Amino acid sequence: MLDTLLELDRSLLLFFNQGHSLYGDQVMWIYTGKLVWIPLILSMVYVVFRTGGWKEGLWLVVMAAVVVLLCDQFASAVCKPLFERLRPARDPDIASLITIVNGYRGGMYGFFSSHAANAAGIVTFTSLLFRNRLYTATAVIWALLTCYSRMYLGVHYPGDILAGLLWGSLVGWGCYHLYLLGRGWFRLPGGQPYARASRVRLITAVVYITFLFILLAAPALNFSLH
């Protein structure tokens, strides 16, 4: 049974890793990086402080940091060294079949994906916070493209991605409810101000503007933004 699942995982990875082009490589390389998403982070910080005030904003920033810390460090510091599953680009059984980009192979081990966990954690936490359908749909698209980029680059199996998504969703859900408890502890005003904040549209717009920027600017950036 396990052998069958592992073989399916390899087959799916080879499917997602195909269809490379120089333009596609540049787009995925920039998309999977961190620098290009700084405007999105800043827009979120602006909205939470502008809408909820400094106490609410500070508590939310702390909880968002906890989401990322739990998602990222549990994957990187606990699961990867524990399971020692080689990344596709480093696995001698499949590495010769993998197309890599810009010489990037990632660290030695890949189970499970920190990118997938972080994306799922952030999307779950913020979607519960903002309660905005357009934002939620946009955030899910962002997260799925993040997951795809990791397989396109050949640094994660689909199984790594799925486990990361499950863990990240659980962390995001748990931290959101911890955030609600904290609002009571710190005696913050009642209600959920972000559920009715028109400023959420700003965050959504920043995501789509960043998508467009990556698509248009990727050839000029030439792998420089990661």
pLDDT of the chain, 226 residues: tens digit per residue: 777 888 899 999 999 999 899 999 999 999 999 899 999 999 999 998 988 788 888 999 999 999 999 999 999 999 999 999 999 999 998 999 999 999 999 999 999 999 999 999 999 999 999 999 999 999 999 999 999 999 999 999 999 999 999 999 999 999 999 998 887 776 666 666 776 677 899 999 999 999 999 999 888 887 766 7
Range of the domain at 158: 25-97+112-221
Neighbours of 151 (CB within 10 A): 23
Residue 106: inside a domain: no
Predicted TM-score (pTM) above 0.85: yes
The total of other beta-carbon atoms located within 10 Å of residue 22's CB is 12
| Two structure tokens written together for 42 | 């800043």
Phi and psi (nearest 5°) for 86? -65, 145
Number of domains in the chain: 1
Q: What number of residues does the chain have? A: 226
Burial of residue 11 (CB within 10 Å: 0-12, 13-18, 19+) is: exposed
Inside any domain, residue 173:
yes
- Is 8 part of any domain? no
